[in-house]
Structures are given as C-alpha cells and as structure tokens.
Structure 1
Amino acid sequence: MTIDLVNAARRMLGPVGVSLPVSFTSTPSATAQRDAGRRLEQAGYRALWTNEVIGKDAFAHLSVLLAATERLTVGTCVANIWARPPQTAHGAAAYLAQAYPDRFVLGLGVGYPQQAESVGRPFGSPLATMRDYITGMDAETSPPAPDSSYPRILAANGPNMLALAGEISDGALPAGLPPEHTARARKTLGPDKLLVVGLSAVIDDDLDRARDTARQVFATWSARPPFRTTIAEFGYETTEDATPDDHVVDALVAHGTPDSIAGKIREHLAAGADHVTLLQPIGTEFASGIDGYVNIAPALSGVERR
C-alpha cells in the first residue's frame, strides 16, 4: 500500500469508467462479453468494472475481458468476500496482475448476511470481518502467490468503513451517493488514497422518462436502511416508501442527456473522486446498456480530474 501504487492506479483508470450492466436472472455469453469489452475500449473508455455475487466469479469474468482487450483496465465493483477464502482472492488477484500489469484493480465488499449464510459462514461485524479478510489475504500459502502488486480498495459508504479503508487498504469505493459524500470520503481518506465513486446513471435523452427511471433507481437504494441513514446526514431525508423529491433524485442519480451525465461526473471529480464509474439500473438489458455507453462516450471524452 504505497502512494506510487495509488498514483499508478489513477493514471491507468483515468477519470471515467463504466460498469457492465447487471442482471440477476441471466449472464451474457463470453462472446457477448468479449465484444462488449472491445467496443468500449474502441469507444475510448479506459476502465471497465464488473460486480460479483455468489455463483458468479469476478476473476474468471475479468480474465476473459483482459484477454479480449489490449489496454483496458478492469476492476471488481465489487468482489464478494464470501465467494472465496482471502488467500485465494489474493492469489487470483496477483495472478491477473502478473499476467496483465497495470490493468487490474481489486474492489472488495463485505456484502450481506444472506450471502454469508449461503456459504455456511457467520456474517459477524462488518468492520471486524473485513479487517480479518484483508489480514488473511497476506497469509502464507504453498506455493506462494505471484509477487505482483495491485490496488486493493474497499466498498465503503458509511464513515466507519471509510475510515477502515483508509487504514488497511489503498482506498475506497462508495456508490449511489451525492457529491457531498464524495467530499467527505476524500477528507476521511486523505490525499494519498484512491477514491473510486460508483455513480448511478440513466442514459435517456427524454428527461421526464429519465427522471422516472432515476426515481426507481433511488427507490432500490433507499430500501436499505443504512443508505437512508447516510444520505440523511447530507440533508436528503426520505423513507422507504416515500416518493423522493426531484432535487433528491437529481443529486444522487445522473440521468438524461450525455452532457447531463458528464456534468454529474464532474461534480464528483471536483469533490475529490479520482475515478467515477457509471452504474446502469439493475436489469438493464446487456446489449442496449453497452450501446448506451458507446453513445455517450464522446460527451465523456473531455471530462478530467481537477
């Protein structure tokens, strides 16, 4: 965990990336994934992220994307700690870093109690669980993992997990939150840590329709009590069943035209983010989601960190 590693990550990621559309009902074929990676690289994106749940291996997924592209940096947004032991996670990450130098970032998340239960493990305290996992990643194995470095960042929305990320990892990956949270995350982490922000995005030139979809995205996030607690700290009061005001939706979800989405990205970069990755609504059809990213790429090409 060095500033050199963080600065290298900042260079390779650039200011803007995209996360592959997520579905919990089907997985696009490897051929479709390869084609998507190539299209996004050709469109000018420098970074591509993928999620992970129990039953979907992010490392196998990213190995396909790395092999299919030439320069694209890939990352886990995020790898689920219940999917594998910590030593195995480090071994897989180091192997990808060895095979594709400066093209891999490991994002880790503690997930949810039901995911721990699905593999017969106790969830425990999220902070203690994550600390133990990071410590376990560096335990000796036989044979040892490749001697290859890579950035490790933690999914962290709440202040305690953000503080832990600053203490034991190379940075943090908060998601779904307003620029004010990004500013607080940067203050918590300090200047020498990597701050990747996941920004919910609805790509649609019809503003009314885009805002309606953005409202649905917000409703998915606000169904989680910790999320409501976090946004309330910044003056965005809501309840699980309430219809959010337009100003709340506008603050938390990028939506509308490519220029509107670029503007929201700039807000997070100005607040201290090193890199912003776009998150399309869960259930977005894969092919149309990739088309959307390609279509807005020209509008994002001039976005820069401040």
Structure 2
Amino acid sequence: METVVEGRRTLGPVGVYLPISMTSTPGVDLQRDAAKRLEHAGYRMVWTNEVVGGKDALVQLAVLLAATERLAFGTGIANIWAREPQTTHAAAAMLAQAYPGRFVLGLGVGYREQAAGTGREFGSPPATMRDYLDRMTTQTWPPAAETRYPRIIGANGPKMLALAAACADGAFPAMLPPGHTVRARQLLGPDKLLVVGLSVVVDSDRDRAKATAREKVAGRLGMPSYAAGIARLGYSDQEISEVSDRLVDAIVAHGDAAAIVAKVREHLTAGADHVVLMPPTTGFAADVDLLEHLAPALADLDFADAPQLYT
C-alpha cells in the first residue's frame, strides 16, 4: 500500500506520452529537448513505449531522467519479451534508487509475434505475465538494489485486471471508455493504481476532429480482442461495425483543449488515478508542440479531480 501511495504522489492526475513512432526513433538530443520542454510546460509525468528492438525503454528513461530535474517517467509499456525478468527488476530498482520518486515501471505481454521473434512461446497472457512477475524477484548474485518502485501491468481485460489486483501495484488500460475505467476500479479495488491511456485529437474544427478520432477507433477495432472488449462494455454489433458517434465520443478525446480536459475529468471521476494523453502521432515535433499547447488547460487538474484518493 505504501508503494501505491507514493506512486499516486509521483503520478499526479495527468501525464503524457513522449510522442511515438513505429517507423523511426528520434535522436537522443531531440528526446532530451522534448523532455525538458514538457517539464517546463508544467507536466509532472511522461511515459514511453517499447516494442522489441529499436530502443530499450529503461535505457531511454535513464537518459531522460538525467536530462531533467523534477519530471517523473514511466514505461508505458515495457515489453516483457525485451529482457529477462530479473534484469528488468535490477534495472528498475537502479533507476528508482538513482531518481527517488521519479520512476514507475509498467509491463505488458505485447503480442504473439513479438514472443515468436525472440524464440519464445506466447502462451496465455495472464499466465505468462504472472510467471514474469514471479521471476522478477528471483534471487540473483549480486542481488538487485533494495529499492521500492511502483509496478503496474498493461491490462484491458478482466483476467489481466484481476492479475494486476493480485500481483502488482496497479494496471494500465488504454483507449477504452470511462465505463471501462469504472469496471477497472471495481476489479482493482481502492488500494491499487489505475493509469488510463487516453488518445487525443486536438482540433478546433469539430467535424475534422471527429473524423480523425473515428479513424483511430476504426483501426483499433480491427483487432478482434479489442472489439470483443468493447462489446463486453455494452456496445452493439452495429455500433462497432459502423464505428458509431457514441463509441468515438467515448474512446477518443477530440476537439479543443476544453474538450480534452473534460474527457480527462470523466476518467478521473470514474476512478482513474492518472490519465496519460496519447498524442495523434502526426510527427515527433508536431506532437510535442501539441502537448505544450495543451499544458495550460490541464494545469487546473489536481488531486481533487480523482475522488478515490480520499476514500
């Protein structure tokens, strides 16, 4: 519980993804500059992604932590196929020791193809993740640093959320409506961290913003497991096949800055501790500019917007 309380202090109500690209990796100087700009803009928490190859998320965070003064960072999500569990724990503990109160480890099972690419069996995602979490604390010589850090897992479905409640400090679902946040909080209980990834499209032209948001939702619905999860939340087959307005409005924050803030508050009220803004991947520089633009509107969000912190 103490780790969760400390994690809530670290996270604050809102954070942002360092812009993501699946086709290239921005140079280190660009990433350092972006992190400094986001810190100066007033953000408290920045998250980074990871697949397998291209970069190591924990090395990346070591560089960015050193380049900033107060900004906290989290892996959203470190891929379990990228490194052995004991190595992950040792690296995470060292970062937490070097930068107290500025690091959160998020872990995810990734995809079947990523496991195959490393020569391993994907298996059942909950069982695979449980085994990884168990092996993280296997004794090594020399032992890892004895430093606590918040450990959360990527969890959209009920089985993975139950695992997060039992074996981790919390969960990180992404691109799901506030109704899912309510269910996730119920499954996790009050004493776990709930970090929610929220896709954003910032555009004062409402029609254009909704069209872009619809494209994002349609692309995600092409994944059968995601579509099945949306159906479990009460959306009809027709709403899913047509990518209805109700679905788009629930999943993606789109419109002007006020609309983005309103959607963040929906998730906080629904039970999230922390909402991560996922920029639209229009380009690294453009997305950093967008996040800077949003920062003043988000400055009014505080811990009072997350009622579960006081229960």
Cα distance between partner residues in 2 of 1:88 and 1:190 = 30
1:1-306 aligned within 5 A: 3-55=1-53, 56-238=55-237, 242-281=241-280, 283-304=281-302, 305-306=306-307
Cα distance between partner residues in 1 of 2:8 and 2:282 = 28
**Post-superposition CA distance 1:201-236 (Å, at most 9, x none):** 112222111111111110121111111111112222
Question: Helix, strand or coil for the counterpart of 2:294?
Answer: helix
Cα distance between partner residues in 1 of 2:248 and 2:145 = 45
CA contact (8 A) 1:17 1:47 kept: yes
Question: Helix, strand or coil for the counterpart of 2:81?
Answer: helix
Structure 1 residues 241 and 172, CA gap change in structure 2 (3 angstroms): closer
**What amino acid does structure 2 have at the position aligned with 1:8?**
E
Offset, 1:86: 0.2
**Post-superposition CA distance 1:33-91 (Å, at most 9, x none):** 01110110111100000000111210011111101111111000000000000000001
User: TM-score w.r.t. structure 2 length?
Assistant: 0.95
**Post-superposition CA distance 1:112-169 (Å, at most 9, x none):** 1000000000111111100000000000111111111100001000001000100000
Q: Give me the CA root mean square deviation.
A: 1.3
Offset, 1:243: 3.4
Aligned length: 303
Question: Helix, strand or coil for the counterpart of 2:107?
Answer: strand
Question: Helix, strand or coil for the counterpart of 1:242?
Answer: helix
Cα distance between partner residues in 1 of 2:282 and 2:6 = 32
Offset, 1:237: 2.9
Cα distance between partner residues in 1 of 2:128 and 2:244 = 36
Offset, 1:22: 1.1
Cα distance between partner residues in 2 of 1:238 and 1:82 = 34
Cα distance between partner residues in 2 of 1:34 and 1:265 = 27
Cα distance between partner residues in 2 of 1:133 and 1:240 = 37
Question: Helix, strand or coil for the counterpart of 1:199?
Answer: strand
Unaligned 5+ runs, structure 2: none
Unaligned 5+ runs, structure 1: none
**What amino acid does structure 2 have at the position aligned with 1:51?**
N
CA contact (8 A) 1:105 1:150 kept: yes
Cα distance between partner residues in 1 of 2:238 and 2:222 = 8
**What amino acid does structure 1 have at the position aligned with 2:298?**
L
Offset, 1:241: 8.6
Q: Which moved more, 1:206-215 or 1:47-56?
A: 206-215
Identity %: 59
**What amino acid does structure 2 have at the position aligned with 1:12?**
T
CA contact (8 A) 1:127 1:164 kept: yes
Question: Helix, strand or coil for the counterpart of 2:204?
Answer: coil
Offset, 1:239: 7.3
CA contact (8 A) 2:279 2:291 kept: no
Cα distance between partner residues in 1 of 2:236 and 2:223 = 13
Q: Which moved more, 1:36-45 or 1:228-237?
A: 228-237
Cα distance between partner residues in 1 of 2:96 and 2:239 = 41
**What amino acid does structure 1 have at the position aligned with 2:186?**
K
